[in-house]
A = this chain, B = another copy of it.
Amino acid sequence: MRNAEFDREKVLRSAMTAFMDKGYGKTSMQDLTKATGLHPGSIYCAFDNKRGLLIAALEQYKTDRSAEFQQFFSGNHAVLVELKAYLDNIVQECISCEAAKACLLTKALNEMAQQDEDVQKIITENLANWQQGIADVIAKAQANGELSSERDSLHLARYLVMGIYGLRTFAHTHPEAETLQQLAEQLFADITA
């Protein structure tokens, strides 16, 4: 008996970064061996192939993002305050590093559309899960009386998700902090109006 030497989470996070940098297609196995520190054989042993590594990385991404989401909404603050902080954090992601690196899910979704049904299904499920999380948060704010219940929480969540997608794409062409912050504020205002 003998255990694998590498740290699976670290490897997957490196792979995530590599895929976000160049996209799945343009990330070569050589890039991945460099990023992860693993040799081809090890990658193929642990993840079957490049696609398997992507799928495992997507899973890790989901885990990491879920934990982050919980962090933002587990405080004792008003829900809308937490939501605003969450949105601001997304804006910061778009500003600080490269916008392209912002989200593995949407990046892969754009690339894989109509090409790999299984991967697309995984991504779609993850995004649906995220949207539901936001809908739950909004519903909580409505139950609290922080937010009017006039508009359906699911509709509001969809609109916010759409806005976040748009914000990320917008950041590709206009990475200026001021512009993005303004857009995010308007988005938040329209949701909470």
A residues apposed to B, CB below 8 Å: 21-23, 25-26, 98-100, 106-107, 109-111, 113-115, 123-124, 127-128, 155, 158-159, 161-167, 169-170, 172-174, 179, 182-183, 186-187, 190
Most B Cβ at <10 Å: residue of A111, A115, A165, A182 = A165
Q: Which residues of B contact A172 (CB under 8 A)?
A: 109-110, 113
A183–B154 CA distance with the chains assembled, in angstroms? 12
Query: In the complex, what's the smallest C-beta–C-beta distance from A158 to chain B, in angstroms?
Result: 6
Q: Is the CB of B162 within 8 A of A106?
A: no
Q: Is the CB of A114 within 8 A of B21?
A: yes
Q: Which residues of B contact A99 (CB under 8 A)?
A: 113
What are 21 A-B contacts defined by CB distance under 8 Å? Answer: A21-B114, A26-B115, A106-B169, A107-B110, A109-B173, A111-B111, A113-B172, A127-B173, A155-B182, A158-B179, A158-B183, A161-B166, A161-B170, A162-B166, A162-B167, A162-B170, A163-B166, A165-B165, A165-B170, A166-B169, A169-B169
Q: Which residues of B contact A159 (CB under 8 A)?
A: 183, 186-187
Q: Which residues of B contact A182 (CB under 8 A)?
A: 155, 158
A170–B123 CA distance with the chains assembled, in angstroms? 12
Q: In the assembly, how many copies of this chain are there?
A: 2
Q: Which residues of B contact A111 (CB under 8 A)?
A: 23, 110-111
Q: Which residues of B contact A173 (CB under 8 A)?
A: 109, 123-124, 127-128
Q: Is the CB of A110 within 8 A of B110?
A: yes
Query: In the complex, what's the smallest C-beta–C-beta distance from A106 to chain B, in angstroms?
Result: 6
A26–B114 CA distance with the chains assembled, in angstroms? 12
A26–B173 CA distance with the chains assembled, in angstroms? 23
Q: Nearest chain-B residue to A128 (Cβ)? A: B173
Q: Nearest chain-B residue to A111 (Cβ)? A: B23
Most B Cβ at <10 Å: residue of A99, A172, A186, A187 = A172
